[in-house]
Amino acid sequence: MDLQLTIRHSKKPYLRRETPKAQLWQQWNKSQIIKIHRTASNGSAPEKKKSLVARDAEFTFLSPNPIIRNGLVPIVLRWEPPALGWFKLNVDGSCLGPNSYIAAAGVIRNDNGNWVNGIAQFCGIGTSIQAELWGLYIGLIKAKELGIQLIEVECDCKAVVNFMSCSNISDAHPLAPLIYMCRSFLPQFSQCIVRHIYREKNSCTDLLAKHAAARKLPFTLYDVVSSFLFSVFWADLLGISSRRRISTNIEPG
């Protein structure tokens, strides 16, 4: 078993699941620290302190109840293929520069993780949520054109995901027309699941949206993987993961 150990310095307190053994260890440590301070004039005191810190670190990281720093726990994130017979549509939007140029993008892959189609479009000036909604809209249109019936839709904007299930959106909402257009497509599939994910699972579509915004691309279809997407696409296909820390009371996406 490989043991990876990372020590970070922080002034913020730890959150520790206390056990009787841990409490006894801490009490013993305190008594040793007091002894070290009382013998500070002795040249061996710094060495004793180093030894004490080393033993404390060993106890901490080999303990069955790990420390949770600041209420955050690490999770491993990677793009995952859909279930057998399903397709996955990842959507994203990009809002770049002081002029707020926005673009939308979608990437469709099959249950083997193979590329099916990509879509991108520059949408003018707007907000990041508008860009995300346009990404969902053009992605759903393309999925319907391809005759897909079983589809998982993933978006890293939680507001957009909530819009798809919210039943009390006012007609006066500034994004209501675009929200309704997106929602009108959902019943047209045999099964359609829309879920929120972390951005680390959406790298390919994120890069495509940024590319479209930076170059102000008109509506563009990608029947094959474009060269600027090779690295992120293959990282997804090979299951290469990344890590992030999340709050312990948040369900991983």
Residue-wise pLDDT tens digits, 181-230: 999 999 999 999 999 999 999 999 999 999 999 999 999 999 999 999 99
pLDDT score of 112: 98
Helix, strand or coil, per DSSP, at residue 220: strand
The model carries a pTM of 0.71
Rounded CA separation 247/46 (Å): 37
Residues 6+ apart with CB under 8 A from 96: 102, 103, 210, 213, 214
What would the two tokens of residue 116 be? 């099916």
Per residue in 65-99, pLDDT (tens digit) is 544 556 788 888 999 999 999 999 999 999 998 88
Do the bridges between strand 191-196 and strand 150-155 make them parallel or antiparallel, or are there none, so unpaired?
parallel
Give all strands of the β-sheet with 150-155 in edge-to-edge order.
191-196, 150-155, 87-96, 101-109, 115-125, 220-222
H-assigned helices in 5-94: 20-38, 45-62
Decide if pLDDT at 1 tops 70.
no
The terminus-to-terminus CA distance of the chain in angstroms comes to: 28
Q: Report yes or no: 119 and 221 within 8 Å, Cβ to Cβ.
A: yes
What would the two tokens of residue 173 be? 């909402």
What would the two tokens of residue 183 be? 């929602």
Amino acid at 198: Y
Decide if pLDDT at 13 tops 50.
no
Task: Give Cα 94 distance to the centre of its chain.
Answer: 16
Quick one: CA dihedral 197, 174, 98, 91, positive or negative? positive
Q: Report yes or no: 117 and 162 within 8 Å, Cβ to Cβ.
A: no
- Residues forming a β-bridge with 115: 109
Rounded CA separation 103/187 (Å): 26
